[in-house]
Amino acid sequence: MNKKLLMGLAAFCTMGLSAGAWAADAATADEVVAKVKAAAADVKAHADVALSEFDKKDGKWAWKDTYVFVLDCASGTMKAHPSEKVKGMKLADLKDKATDKEIGGALCAAAKKPQGGWVEYMWTKPGAEGNHRKVAYVLTAGDYQVGAGVYDDKLTAKELEAKTMK
């Protein structure tokens, strides 16, 4: 009996540690805000020279399960993105993967807010199959808009807006 109990406890602990390791691979909203602010400062300081760094899947602007992207809302294009399919895309063609609703305009509108803003949509997640709920933080940086998102089924743009305003 004790052997079964110990084996069960060991299995439970192993699953708990594994779940913690998986959670550690997911970017947090705080990390997203910090990365976007750092990326925005880089874009402001180095403009077009900095943009190629955002196209690298294994560069400093891609971490855990997310990445920084750069929009050019004035021209209506995705200026920099680690996916060749998305880089250069017209913002009007950026669509929520579940509803087919255009999201480029929403990202640009969120970036116009003084502290930046958050937008919820369904998107592909690096290293995972299917579409996942993403909440992206977007901030204006000179002539561009810089964003990154957290993949989360529970966080809402509204609660993240409140957190960002602090």
What pLDDT does residue 49 have? 86
Q: How far apart are CA 64 and CA 128, in angstroms?
A: 12
Query: Is the C-alpha dihedral spanning 139, 146, 34, 142 positive or negative?
Result: negative
Per-residue confidence in pLDDT tens, the chain, 166 aa: 555 544 443 444 443 433 333 445 899 999 999 999 999 999 999 988 899 999 999 999 999 999 999 999 999 999 999 999 999 999 999 999 999 999 999 999 999 999 999 999 999 998 899 999 999 999 999 999 999 999 999 999 988 988 777 6
CA distance 133 to 154: 9
pLDDT at 18: 35
CB 77 within 8 A of CB 90: yes
Whether the model pTM is above 0.85: no
Residue 24's pLDDT is 56
What's the pLDDT at 9?
A: 39
User: In this predicted structure, what is the pLDDT of residue 69?
Assistant: 98
Pairing type for strands 62-63 and 66-72 reads antiparallel
How many helices (H) and strands (E) the chain has is answered by: 5, 6
Separation between Cα atoms, residue 158 and residue 166, nearest integer Å: 13
**The pLDDT of residue 15:** 38
* List of domains in the chain: 28-164 (3.30.450.20)
Q: Which residues pair with 62 in a beta bridge?
A: 67
DSSP state of 52: G
